Amino acid sequence: MKLYYWPKTRAFRALWMLEEIGAPYHIEHVNIRAGEQGSPAFRHLNPMTKLPALDDNGVHVSESGAVLLYLADKFPAAGLGATLDDPLRGRFLQWLFFTPGCLEPAMAEKMTGSPGNTFSFGWGDFDRVQQAIETALEEGEWLLGERFSAADLLLAGTLQIAFMAKLLEPKGRFGDYVERAVSRDGHARALAVEQREIAALKK
Ligand SMILES: N[C@@H](CCC(=O)N[C@@H](CS)C(=O)NCC(=O)O)C(=O)O
């Protein structure tokens, strides 16, 4: 499995997922700061020319939500998804789509101060996504209740960015949730890889 990656990007989500799973993979660098994502070869892989992208023996997947879903389905024993017959499958998909489809656009809107339209825009607005997460987390430690899934990986990783951008305070229910997610061994392993990659760039 090849992970097209550059440090300090959304490719970290896929890296974290691969480390959670323990699947063998290797990193293919795409220096997005130097424009390498625009090469014809990479464009063929992901016409959006963005990271992350995955090549699993010729099967190409991009868009972080799709990459996580692909991996969760491919490695069910890792328990990071919900199988087709699992009653939690619906909730799993809902929250997996929620982060890129609602949270990220609402964050972008909030950051840029764009006026938006909570009724017509698919992501509502930042207050609405915040309330949705709050409600979901009232029901359990994780989005699926008792167990951590790829949907938590995606949401917690994105909430960390919301903390860094000062859109949310890293405290209370949100703070505890992100803390629980990043305390996982899989996250520590992914972070070690990311730190090695950052250090290598500085050489
Ligand atoms: N919707 C995409 C967004 C990916 C994305 O925006 N990646 C950024 C890095 S964090 C990127 O590759 N930017 C380079 C570019 O836009 O040229 C996903 O979730 O995978």
The DSSP secondary structure of 61-77, one letter per residue, reads: EESHHHHHHHHHHH-GG
Evaluate whether 45 touches 84 at the Cβ level (below 8 Å).
no
At which residue do the structure tokens 């994502």 appear?
Answer: 37
Indicate the average pLDDT of the chain.
97
126-185 pLDDT tens trace:
999 999 999 999 989 999 999 999 999 999 999 999 999 999 999 999 999 999 999 999
pLDDT of residue 202: 87
Rounded Cα distance between 97 and 189, Å, is 25
93-106 pLDDT tens trace:
999 999 999 999 99
Q: Quickly state the pLDDT bin for 1 (edges 50, 70, 90).
A: very high
When pLDDT is averaged across residues 27-55 and rounded to a whole number, the result is 97
Q: How many angstroms is it from 85 CA to the middle of ligand 1?
A: 32
Q: How many angstroms is it from 20 CA to the middle of ligand 1?
A: 22
Q: How many angstroms is it from 130 CA to the middle of ligand 1?
A: 23
When pLDDT is averaged across residues 47-63 and rounded to a whole number, the result is 98
Of the candidates 180, 171, 190, 130, which has an alpha carbon nearest to the alpha carbon of residue 152? 180
Q: Which domains does the chain have, with CATH numbers?
A: 2-78 (3.40.30.10), 89-185 (1.20.1050.10)
Nearest atom (ligand 1) to Cα of 62? 20
Nearest atom (ligand 1) to Cα of 50? 12
CA distance from start to end of the chain: 27
Beta strands, E only, the chain: 2-5, 26-29, 53-56, 59-62
Evaluate whether 14 touches 3 at the Cβ level (below 8 Å).
yes
Q: Which residues line ligand 1 (CB under 6 A)?
A: 9-10, 32, 37, 49-52, 63-64, 100
Q: In this structure, what are the phi and psi dihedrals at residue 100, rounded to the nearest 5 degrees? A: -75, -30
Q: How many angstroms is it from 173 CA to the middle of ligand 1?
A: 28
